[in-house]
């Protein structure tokens, strides 16, 4: 008889932690790079694209497999807040890279990667006004995203140290 695991599948755990690394890398590179340092910004673009690519197996896994149960089970309100916060995280993981690509393209540039001269094709034509507004949205949502990530981190620690459930252990 198959015993259900008390941890997420290995692919889910790997993509989760690789996404964490990619988000941290995107944050670091955008804060040390700018228009005057395009080589550094290419690493920011690569990190953002990694976030987007890693999202695919994560969404497929969410749609095809049930997560391991939380033991002891949370109340209905905690479960609802968890669902909403995870939906927000997934939305940010999708929207932020797409906005970044659009911002670069509206600025008349291609999203270029750090090696080999490889670039993504432009999705949109240059448009200065769109570049500015998408850039402001990308930056504002990025700030909100960091707060949502922080809340996610605090919630995982709350589950582990105060609720003493297996929420955090399921992902390590």
pLDDT for the residue 130: 98
Whole-angstrom distance, CA of residue 5 vs CA of residue 35:
48
Do the domain assignments include residue 3?
no
Tell me if 1 is assigned to some domain.
no
pTM assigned to the model = 0.92
- Cα–Cα distance measured from residue 35 to residue 41, given in angstroms and rounded to the nearest whole number: 8
Considering its fold, how many domains does the chain have in total?
1
Residue 170: closest CA among 93, 74, 104: 74
Region 110-138: mean pLDDT is 95
pLDDT of residue 51: 98
For the domain that residue 165 is a member of, what is the CATH number? 1.20.950
Give the tens place of pLDDT for each residue, 54-107.
999 999 998 999 999 999 999 999 999 999 999 999 999 999 999 999 999 999
Residue 2 pLDDT grade (very low, low, confident, very high; cuts 50, 70, 90): low
Share of the chain above pLDDT 70, in %: 97
Is residue 2 assigned to a domain? no
77 located within any domain: yes
The pLDDT of residue 43 is above 70? yes
The answer as to whether 46 is a domain residue is yes
Structural contact between residues 16 and 51, judged by C-beta atoms closer than 8 angstroms:
no
Domain around 74: 10-171
Q: Which residue has the higher pLDDT, 62 or 18?
A: 18
Rg (CA), the chain: 18
In the DSSP assignment, the letter for residue 119 is B
Q: Does residue 61 fall inside a structural domain?
A: yes
Within a domain: 4: no
Considering the domain boundaries, does residue 166 fall inside one? yes
């Amino acid at each position: 008889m198959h015993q259900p695991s008390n941890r997420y599948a290995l692919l889910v755990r790997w993509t989760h932690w690789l996404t964490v690394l990619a988000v941290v890398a995107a944050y670091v590179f955008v804060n040390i790079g700018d228009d005057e340092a395009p080589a550094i910004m290419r690493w920011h673009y690569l990190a953002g694209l990694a976030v987007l690519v890693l999202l695919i197996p994560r969404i497929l896994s969410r749609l095809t497999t049930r997560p391991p149960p939380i033991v002891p089970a949370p109340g209905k309100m905690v479960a609802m807040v968890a669902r909403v916060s995870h939906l927000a995280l997934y939305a940010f993981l999708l929207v932020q890279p797409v906005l970044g690509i659009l911002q670069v393209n509206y600025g008349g540039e291609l999203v270029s990667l750090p090696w080999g001269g490889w670039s993504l094709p432009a999705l949109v034509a240059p448009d200065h006004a769109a570049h500015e507004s998408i850039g402001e949205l990308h930056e504002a949502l990025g700030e909100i995203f960091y707060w949502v990530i922080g809340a996610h981190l605090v919630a995982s620690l709350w589950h582990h140290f105060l609720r003493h459930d297996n929420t955090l252990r399921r992902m390590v």
